[in-house]
Each structure stands twice: as C-alpha cells, then as structure tokens.
Amino acid sequence: MMAKYKVIFEGEDYIVLKLGKDMSVQSLIDKGFVIQKDGNLYTKSGKKVIISHSDFFRIANNDGVYLAGNCGGSVFSIAMGWVMSNYHVLKCTDKLIYNGEIIKLRKDSKHNVYFSPLVLPGWIWQLLDALNIDVYSSYDIAFVKIDNEGIMYNTNKPYPHAIYTAGNCLSFADRNCLGIALAYPEGDANDALQDLKVLKSIDLMIDCTYWKARIEGYGIDVGKVMVNYGNDYAKLYPALLIGFKDLPAIPGCSGSMVYPKYNMVRQSNPYP
C-alpha cells in the first residue's frame, strides 16, 4: 500500500491503480509513473492503465432468490441440496430466501465445504511485499447444505462459469465501475486460469439474484487483484477484471454467477 498509488489489479494487458490522497493523474504523468498516449494512460511496459477512486471491496426485499442473515448476498447456484455462493457471503448468512420461502442453511461442519481466501491486515501485506513474498488465494466460494434436494437453480447457464466477488461501486447510478470475478473450483489451478481466460474479451452476464438483476458486462483482463474485506485485505489470483455495459454490480451481488452471454462449447459439467 503505497502513499502515492496502489496497484489493485494487474493483468497481462491492463493495470488498475488507486491513487493516494495527494496524487492526481497529472502527477502520475509528471513523475513518470505512467505515459500518456492518444488520450490513454500506459505503464512503461505497455500495459493500459485504469484509474479507480476506491478499493475493490467484497459485495455481500423481494420474492427472488438470495441469502440473508447478518449480511445479504446472491446465489451462484443450487443443486442436489447444495447452495453455492461466496464464502464471505455464506459465512454471515443463515437462510436462503427462495421465491418467498425461508429455508435454513445447515451451517454445521458436516454440511458445508468452503474455499476461503487468506485475509490479512494491510501492514502484514506491506511486510510481505517488502520481503518479496507473494501469497495469493484463488477462491472465495462455499457450498452449504439445505434440507431440500429438489431445488435446482442456475444449473443450465452457458459455460464456463465464474463467481462475482468484488467491485468498486456502491450504487446502480454509479458509472465507470469495475468488478472482479474468481474461478469456480473445478479441476486444477490451470483449469481455473483457463476458464477465466475464456471469459476475457467476451460479453458476460452477471446474475445478481439479490437485486433480481441480470447485469451485462464484458471481460477485460485476467490477473492479480487486492480486495478490501472490510478492515483487512486478500490477494487473489487468477481474477477476472470486468467492465459493465450499463448498470454495475453493487453490494448484494457478491456470489452471483458470471457466464458468457452467448452459449459456448464446453465439455465438463460441475453439477451431478
């Protein structure tokens, strides 16, 4: 976490910077941190620069399908009695709202599986950075049992899938917003990376069940990201950087399924 600016996402082609309080875009240019060319900003290595005015933060009513409790969030899918969403959403929710019906989540250890990110205070990440130690988590997803194996939800969407995890806007009225999606834990780490690369540079749908909104977006790049989890942070890789065509994903959209807008051929199916 540098005083001048902070790199909050870095991919193959793009980098997202959050500026410090006393740093402006012009100061970045004047100090030689970035280069301005044809109205765009680039790093010295040629990556296109996007400026964000806030961190990426986790983004955890109606007769839709959503999770509720001490926080709220969206449902990735429901299959064979398992509810899937972000770990940080299922950690603080205790009920599924399914078309007006309240269904209790079975939160005991025998009935949940989770892949949680390593979340640490900012000063520890600064220390690890100073020691050139990189520690990245790949997933923020959990599977929790319910006493209803008949509900099937979001099991027929085009592949590959990713799970919406974080964004930098708070309201549907905000513009120039960015979002972050992580891979579904299927196969090995290379499979996760390849799934996200398929979603790069294509039109996407984000099924934000909490707000009953299907949000249109597009993949921008795949890379490393730092996400604000409240008072602490997590470094995540691989992560898909998403732009939005109109309405952005906002708090409550965490846990949403991200999938191609148009059907794509894929061999495997994560659902039984």
Q: Are residues 191 and 248 in the same domain?
A: yes
Q: Count CB neighbours of 214 within 10 A.
A: 13
Q: Are residues 43 and 130 in the same domain?
A: no
Q: Are residues 75 and 41 in the same domain?
A: no
Q: Are residues 44 and 65 in the same domain?
A: no
Q: Are residues 43 and 76 in the same domain?
A: no
The per-residue pLDDT for 35 is 92
For every one of its 272 residues, what pLDDT tens digit does the chain have, with 9 covering 90 and above? Answer: 445 788 999 999 999 998 877 778 888 888 888 999 988 999 999 999 999 878 887 655 444 799 999 999 999 999 999 999 999 999 999 999 998 899 999 988 788 899 999 999 999 999 999 999 999 999 999 999 999 999 999 999 998 999 999 999 989 989 899 999 999 988 777 888 999 999 998 999 999 999 999 999 999 999 999 999 988 999 999 999 999 998 999 999 999 999 999 875 443 444 33
| Number of structural domains the chain divides into | 2
For residue 100, give the CATH number of its domain.
Answer: 2.40.10
The answer to whether residues 236 and 164 touch, using CB atoms and an 8 Å cutoff, is no
Q: Are residues 236 and 161 in the same domain?
A: yes
The whole domain housing 252 covers 54-272
Q: How far is CA 246 from CA 122, 173, 271, in A?
A: 33, 9, 31
The per-residue pLDDT for 60 is 53
The per-residue pLDDT for 268 is 42
Q: Among positive and negative, which fits the CA dihedral 142, 98, 177, 3?
A: negative
Q: Are residues 16 and 69 in the same domain?
A: no
Q: How far is CA 191 from CA 3, 155, 219, 224, 231, in A?
A: 36, 20, 17, 16, 31
Of the residues 33, 52, 71, the one at which a domain ends: 52
Q: Are residues 32 and 109 in the same domain?
A: no
Q: Are residues 73 and 134 in the same domain?
A: yes
pTM: 0.85
Amino acid at 193: L
The per-residue pLDDT for 115 is 94
Q: Are residues 170 and 204 in the same domain?
A: yes
Q: Are residues 255 and 189 in the same domain?
A: yes
Q: Are residues 24 and 101 in the same domain?
A: no
